[in-house]
Amino acid sequence: MSINEVFKKRKSTRMFLDKAVEADKLIQIAEAGNMAAGTPMAGKVYFNVVTNSDVLDVIVKNTQTIMKNSGVDMLVKISSNPNFNPFYGAPCAIVISADKTDNPSTREMAIANVACAGENILLAATELGLASCYMTSPTLGFAIPETREAVKLEENMEPLAIVVVGYAEDMTPHSDYPENPENIVFVE
């Protein structure tokens, strides 16, 4: 697949099949994340590749708890749906973390580093025939220490995004990319 085909094929999936992802694919995907652009000024980016269903359940359960008690109307409403699963049944969640920092500028850079790594992961997964979704809301569940312990996050690591990957029945790409989008401006 050409890189342009990969771009066009990538789409957020929110319904996964109950089928494990092969270990060699997970290694390739995590290594793609690790090859992303990133400024060393924000320290390192870390990848915790979770396939253990008990650990996935801990993240899901604690995310639901935090969302329900957040006081944010939209999060309370979403998490009150008994069918809501923030991972949508994906068999693998890659927790992407950066070094914790109190400096707001450094944290902005850390978020950008994690986002670059996450996009590499999404594209690598797409190329390997996998469905995926980049997400930030399930990082809320890490406010509960049990989640950090289950995922084996070290004290210095702040989880900033999660990419779930897996197989899906519906792999149809988006079809509505505009031809000459007005938000792309060429200054010549």
Please report, as ranges, the residues that interact with ligand FMN according to CB under 6 A.
Answer: 11-12, 14, 133-137
Nearer to ligand FMN, 14 or 100 (CB): 14
Q: How far apart are the first and last CA of the chain?
A: 32
* Rounded least distance, CB 141 to ligand FMN, Å: 11
* Rounded least distance, CB 44 to ligand FMN, Å: 20
Asked whether the beta carbons of 12 and 132 are under 8 A apart, the reply is: yes
40: CB partners within 8 A, 6+ apart: none
**Closest to 95 (Cα-Cα) out of 170, 162, 143, 180:** 162
**Closest to 177 (Cα-Cα) out of 11, 2, 1:** 11
**Closest to 10 (Cα-Cα) out of 27, 32, 34:** 32
Nearer to ligand FMN, 12 or 155 (CB): 12
Nearer to ligand FMN, 11 or 25 (CB): 11
* Rounded least distance, CB 72 to ligand FMN, Å: 13
Nearer to ligand FMN, 14 or 68 (CB): 14
Tell me the chain's radius of gyration from C-alpha atoms.
17
* Rounded least distance, CB 135 to ligand FMN, Å: 3
* Rounded least distance, CB 51 to ligand FMN, Å: 20
**What is the rounded CA–CA span in Å between residue 141 and residue 62?**
5
Nearer to ligand FMN, 16 or 46 (CB): 16
Query: How many beta carbons lie within 10 A of that of residue 183, not counting itself?
Result: 5
